[in-house]
Homo-oligomer: A and B are copies of this chain.
Amino acid sequence: MSDFSLDNRPLYEVKANLFKGLAHPVRIRTLERLAGGGDVSVSELLADTGLEPSHLSQHLSVLRRHNLVVADRRGSQVFYRLAYPQVADLLSVARILLVEVLQTTQRHLETSEADVSSTAPRS
Contacts and interface: CB of A to CB of B under 8 A. Distances in A.
Given A16-B24, A19-B22, A29-B12, A7 B97 contact: no
B7 A105 contact: yes
Contacts of A19: 19-20, 22-23, 28, 94
Contact of A13 (B18, B25, B90, B95): B25
Query: This chain: how many copies in the complex?
Result: 2
Given A6-B105, A93-B93, A18 B86 contact: no
Interface of A: 6-7, 10-20, 22-25, 27-29, 32, 67, 83-84, 86-87, 89-91, 93-98, 100-102, 104-106
A67 B104 CA distance: 10
